[in-house]
Structure formats: structure tokens, C-alpha cells
Structure 1
């Protein structure tokens, strides 16, 4: 699955990575380095985060369905 970010979102994320490296690591990360790092995160780390979100959503929805079944009316 290819994740295609909008140009302005990609720019915000690369700037954020550059700011992080500057503030937290006292390193300068150029535009190219930030783009490469962002691509790595999206392609290698992103799928794990995505799958975790899917699993959490699945758990949440199953709990709501169980709650819904508790609303059934008792038959006489």
C-alpha cells in the first residue's frame, strides 16, 4: 500500500523532523535528509502504526456491538 501525502502535509512533516533534530539532537537535518527519513518512517514504521490503529478500532467496535446486544428486549 502506497501512502501518498499531500505536498503541504509532506512539507509540514519534513520541517517538523528538521526542527526535532535541531532541538533534541543538536543536529542539522537538511531537506533531502528529512525527506528520506520521512519516507523511511512512512514505509517501514507506518504500517505497524496503521495496523495498531486497525486493531484498536476493531476492539472498540466489538465492544460497542456487545453493548448494543445488551439493549435487546427480553421476550416473554
Structure 2
């Protein structure tokens, strides 16, 4: 599965790469080169980040599923309890 960015996000990412190069590198990077660098990152590095995000989401979902029993548990056979009167000790 390849990771794609919508056109608007891709444009913003390229602009961000260009800004980074202007601020931190000796030479600026052009639009085409920044797009190529973004493509490299998306193909080479983004899958590792994506997989980690999926694993994190799975862990969070599993934790919530475990809590379902605690949050939603109902005691069975409670009908008669409402009719019981507290017994006094002698």
C-alpha cells in the first residue's frame, strides 16, 4: 500500500521542505527536487511511521476493549435484591 497525500497537503509539504532548506541548508531546494525528496520520504520512511501508528492505535483499541467489561458489566440476577430488606443484627 503506497502512502499518498492529497494535492493540497502535498503542496504544503513541498513548501515546508523548501522552507527547511532555506533556513538550514547552504543552498535552497527547488520545487521539483523538494517534490522528489517528499516522494522518497513517502515511499521509504512513511510506511515505518504508518505501521507504528497502526500498532499504537491497535494497542489503544485493545485497552478500550478490555475496559468494556469493567465499564459496561451488569450484575445478573439482581431483581430480588431490590425487595430485600436489611436485616438487623441481634
- Could you say which TM-score interval applies, normalised by the shorter chain? 0.7 to 0.9
Corresponding residue of 2:85: none
Corresponding residue of 2:49: 49
Corresponding residue of 1:4: 4
Shift of 1:3: 2.7
TM-score by length of 2: 0.75
Q: How many residues align?
A: 76
Q: How much is the aligned-residue C-alpha RMSD, in angstroms?
A: 1.4
Q: Which runs of 5+ in 1 are unaligned?
A: none
1:16-47 per-residue CA deviation (whole Å, 9 max, x = no partner) reads 00001111224301111101100011001010
Corresponding residue of 2:24: 24
Corresponding residue of 2:59: 59
Highest CA radius of gyration, 1 or 2? 2
User: After TM superposition, which residue ranges in structure 1, 4 or more long, deviate above 4 angstroms?
Assistant: none
Higher helix content, 1 or 2:
1
Q: Which runs of 5+ in 2 are unaligned?
A: 78-90
Equivalent residue of 1:70, what SS? helix
CA contact (8 A) 2:4 2:42 kept: no
TM-score by length of 1: 0.87
